[in-house]
Amino acid sequence: MKRTRFVFSGSGGQGVITAGIILAEAAVIHEGMNATQTQSYGAAARGGSTRSDVIISNQPIYYPEVNQANILVCLTQEAYINYSSTIRPGGLVLTDSRFVKTTKKVDARQIEVPMYDMVMEKIKKPIVFNICMLGALLGITEFVRPTSLMKVIKATVPKDFIELNQNAFELGMELGALYNE
Amino acid sequence: MTDNINSNSVNDNNGIKPNNINNGIKANNIKFIQGNEACVEGALYAGVDFFAGYPITPSTEIAELLSKKLPEKGGKFIQMEDEIASMCAIIGASLTGHKVMTATSGPGFSLKQEALGYACMAEIPCVIVNVQRGGPSTGNPTHVSQGDINQARWGTHGDHAIIALTASNHQDVFEVTVDAFNLAETYRTPVILLFDEVVGHMREKLIIPEKGELPIVDRLRTSVRKGVDYHPYLPREDGRLPMSDFGAEHRYNVTGLFHDMWGFPSNNPQVVRELLHHLVDKIENNVHTITRYKEHYLEGADYILISYGSSARSAIHMAKNRRERGEKVGVLELQSIWPFPEVMVREKCANAKAVIVVEMNMGQVMREVKACVDNPSKVFLANRIDNKLINPTNIKTLLRIIQGRGV
Amino acid sequence: MAIKDYIRQRYFPQMWCPGCGHGIILNSLLRAVDELGLDKNGIVMTSGIGCSARISGYVDFHSLHTLHGRALAFATGVKLSKPELRLIVPMGDGDALAIGGNHFIHAARRNIDITAIVMNNRIYGMTGGQYSPLSGPGKKATTAPYTTIDNQFDVVDLSIAAGASFVARSTAYHVLECIDILKKAIQHKGFSVVEILSQCPTHYGRKNKEGDAAQMLEVQKNTTAKLGSKALENDPTLIPRGIFVDIDAPEYCEEYDKIVQRAMKASQSGKPEEPLVNPLIQQSCVTQ
């Protein structure tokens, strides 16, 4: 894959950092690509805004931070306000329609998906919101194979949680597929 | 344009293999982890079996991971009451014959200095990791800096020599960590690993080498038999000092005072002078052997960027882009900072139109470079001191000014 | 064995002043080791800085002469990395309880199997007579020309509160009692503290007009009394001597061995102990 820069943003506890790690890990471990993941650290463990930068490439990656994202995911309005202007023209902005009201000023394809509401309706566990978001992202464009991503999830979570995460991931895939071009 | 790598490192792979599909590598050996975890993997590969530490950002993951991994292999982990005690505890554990490590960041590194000097004086092998953050004082715990370069060199009091290594990517973090243990054993000295917050917290690929792929230096123990006098501080002809574990048949004294060949305190001027010479010479006379560096696009470079740690990533990124546009820009990446590789740096920079030191402090390595190149006036500093990772544009801006092209 | 078999004769005579109590304590300690029949190769003596700390150079054990106040931290590393070794850590009052106070209470809290001996002469001798945290108020020292106003620690109370599982006190005067207490302390499994009142005629004695060494030893005799004795009952102002605490409590290295067993078992079975939370929502966060 050509060098692709992702920014996952939201608030602490939504799992945006973990989501970035899972995507990058899938690319590295199961697809033989290179990836870096960095994040902005603050003093708060919960709440507050968080951001995770991921670069995936089949070439070496040196500078690991993302100044202009190809793909921007915003799960809070604050994140959208902070980062939507940094999207690379022609990029993709994925937002959750419950938490983010988009504006017309962004020079990118903007996709609003009711990920949180669907997770609450079908799965009823907010903790898998981030996995549903990854599903939606891959539903829109297959940056990595869905099976690679599931392999990482399976290797990371305790047995009892695998099915829950798989359901969330598949739900996201279905939601994202509606926007697959 | 290829990324030329030329290094004294044991492995010339720069860790980021282009376009590979993990050919022939066992899936378990490929990891996507933080730099701090890569350091732990390197330490385990080198044979660490004792760690004492104290929580401090951004190094804490090293302690956390070793608290899990060390007992799994029968090793020991202890969280001490502070960084001073952690440093003292690893020295004690090294004397019983173990490979030991501690990890910290700025404030904790300051606290360790007294015992670090003890390890220099008593010649105790140990590895100290400093994942650098913004300073001075509490500074900026969660953000990056490279401000402890000189502290690593001169943080403890008195004349002494020190070895400090660094790395910019996880494969190198792994390898220099192994190297650090090897050098600590070879020279019976503390070795400092100067990482930084970006490298420590960033995640990227690490391929763990198979056992035997990287050389491991084990403790050199004395062959003096029981009942025959063992002189713990009498160097062999090759300068090395074989050790005897506490608990083994030779009983001797270890002290931070100037001491004779028995390890007993002495203020005899000749003993003092010879010991200090020995402590400094064993490292300074081996600069060439200890020097580790990498070249990126350095062939025929008019403009040489000298960098290390995470800032080297930005320098290489920028040099790659310039080369693709036909500009002769290259990077000399330092992996050993102390003893400073003066001769190598002077030779590499001999034909450069300008040398730009890229670092995240106010010129700590730049001063060393200025001191060793033929023409110090051609040495410039590209830095950031706002605890943000310097980016390729920051460096490019300075380069354009030097080139007289404006920004 | 003869006592001379426990010392490094090469380095004698020792550096302590005539009349110093530390030589007497060294004698008691070596007799205790001899009576216990301990293997010299199994003992590591770790000390810090000060007059007391020089004791480690004179004994024919593995000896580790370290930094001011840090002896217990070094000893913790030695002991945990090789628990079969016996650790004896003689310290001065300033060494153990001023600069080393934090290490002291934490070693006691862990109940790690180390014998700490506080050679308490109530003064910094090696630097020439400054007051220590055990001097107490109303004493003269080179840094207290108008007398001290600092209160002193009670080493016994402090050690008990910090979790030491063996705590005792004796004096340089009570040589036989000292040997007996040191034997028990060394044999005790866990952190043991023995405070031994010692005399510094050169500094403390001169500054505070307590006379020569013999007179200072008289003071040790006359101002202390055995625990449970009639004398102590009649005069509670006397300083009690004897064993205050001697209990069985989990020892640090033995407890850590259990951790090792658990961790090895879990990793060999391929079933590491599972995290308590779904790691997919764990957030990395941190300060300080």
CATH number, position C59: 3.40.50.970
DSSP per-residue codes, C121-136: -SSBTTTTSB--TTT-
Q: Is B316 on the interface with A (CB under 8 A)?
A: yes
Among candidate residues B207, B235, B260, the one where a domain is terminated: B207
Q: Are residues B192 and B301 in the same domain?
A: no
Closest Cα in chain A, distance from residue B22 (Å)? 5
C82 in a structural domain: yes
Q: Could you give the CA distance from residue A138 to residue B393 in angstroms, rounded to a whole number?
A: 32
For A100-157, how does the pLDDT look when each residue is reduced to its tens digit (9 = 90+)? 999 988 889 999 999 999 999 999 999 999 999 999 999 999 999 999 999 999 998 8
Q: Do B85 and C57 touch (CB under 8 A)?
A: no
A175: part of which helix (H) or strand (E)?
Answer: helix A159-177
Cα B171 to Cα A93, B11, B203, C199: the distances in Å are: 33, 10, 11, 59
B67 in a structural domain: yes
B105 in a structural domain: yes
Provide the Cα torsion B341, B347, B353, B354; round to 10°. 0
Kindly state the tokens that stand for C285. Answer: 């966060």
State the best of A16, A17, A131, A163 to mutate against chain C, taking most chain C CBs within 10 Å. Answer: A17
Q: Which of C8, C40, C288 sits opposite B56 (nearest CB)?
A: C288
C278 in a structural domain: no
B366: containing domain: 295-402
Mean pLDDT of C190-197: 98
For C199-212, how does the pLDDT look when each residue is reduced to its tens digit (9 = 90+)? 999 999 999 999 99
Q: Are residues B201 and B313 in the same domain?
A: no
Nearest residue of chain A to residue B16 (CA atoms): A60
CATH of the domain at A30: 3.40.920.10
A91: containing domain: 4-113+137-160
C18 in a structural domain: yes
For B14-67, how does the pLDDT look when each residue is reduced to its tens digit (9 = 90+)? 433 434 445 566 667 999 999 999 999 999 999 999 999 999 999 999 999 999
Q: Could you give the CA distance from residue B348 to residue B350 in angstroms, rounded to a whole number?
A: 6
Number of domains forming the structure of chain C:
1
Q: Are residues B201 and B312 in the same domain?
A: no
Give burial (CB, 10 Å; 0-12/13-18/19+) of B134. Answer: buried
Q: Which of B22, B204, B316 sits opposite A35 (nearest CB)?
A: B204
Q: Is A1 on the interface with B (CB under 8 A)?
A: no
Q: Are residues B185 and B310 in the same domain?
A: no
For B243-263, how does the pLDDT look when each residue is reduced to its tens digit (9 = 90+)? 999 999 999 999 999 999 999
Please report, in angstroms and rounded to a whole number, the separation of the first and last CA atoms in chain C: 54
Are the beta carbons of C112 and C76 closer than 8 angstroms?
Answer: yes
Give pLDDT, residue A45. Answer: 61
Number of domains forming the structure of chain A:
1
Q: Do A63 and B392 touch (CB under 8 A)?
A: yes
For B95-127, how does the pLDDT look when each residue is reduced to its tens digit (9 = 90+)? 999 999 999 999 999 999 999 999 999 999 999
What string of H, E and C letters represents the secondary structure of chain B?
CCCCCCCCCCCCCCCCCCCCCCCCCCHHHEEEEEHHHHHHHHHHHHCCCEEEECCCCCCHHHHHHHHHHHHHCCCEEEECCCHHHHHHHHHHHHHCCCCEEEEECHHHHHHHHHHHHHHHHHCCCEEEEEEEEECCCCCEEEEECCCCHHHHHHCCCCCCCCEEECCCCHHHHHHHHHHHHHHHHHHCCEEEEEEEHHHHHCEEEEECCCCCCCCCCCCCECCCCCCCCCCCCCCCCCCCCCECCCCCCCCCEEECCCECCCCCECCCHHHHHHHHHHHHHHHHCCHHHHCCEEEECCCCCCEEEEECHHHHHHHHHHHHHHHHCCCCEEEEEECEEECCCHHHHHHHHCCCCEEEEEECCCCHHHHHHHHHCCCHHHEEEEECCCCCCCCHHHHHHHHHHHCCCCC
C165: containing domain: 3-255
CATH of the domain at B185: 3.40.50.970
Give pLDDT, residue C287. Answer: 36
C70 in a structural domain: yes
Alpha-carbon torsion A93, A98, A99, A102, what sign?
positive
Number of domains forming the structure of chain B:
2
The average confidence (pLDDT) of chain A is 94
Among candidate residues B207, B222, B246, the one where a domain is terminated: B207
Tell whether omega for the bond before B58 is within 30 degrees of 0, i.e. cis. Answer: yes
Q: Which residue has the tokens 């070879």?
A: B186
Q: Are residues B334 and B193 in the same domain?
A: no
Predicted model pTM: 0.95
Length of chain C: 288
Among candidate residues B181, B207, B233, the one where a domain is terminated: B207
B343 in a structural domain: yes
Q: Do C285 and A22 touch (CB under 8 A)?
A: no
Mean pLDDT of C276-287: 42
Partners of A94 in beta bridges? A73, A111
B264 in a structural domain: no
A72 in a structural domain: yes
Closest Cα in chain C, distance from residue B3 (Å)? 34
In this predicted structure, which of B165-174, C6-15, C48-57, C278-287 has the lowest mean pLDDT? C278-287
C237 in a structural domain: yes
Residue C49 has pLDDT above 80, yes or no: yes
C285 in a structural domain: no
B215 in a structural domain: no
C275 in a structural domain: no
Closest Cα in chain A, distance from residue C265 (Å)? 19
Q: Is B68 on the interface with C (CB under 8 A)?
A: yes
Evaluate whether ipTM surpasses 0.85.
Answer: yes
Nearest residue of chain C to residue B252 (CA atoms): C62
Q: Do B82 and C77 touch (CB under 8 A)?
A: no
Q: Do C279 and A157 touch (CB under 8 A)?
A: yes
Q: Do A62 and B320 touch (CB under 8 A)?
A: yes
Chain C residues close to A22, C-beta within 8 Å: 280
B342 in a structural domain: yes
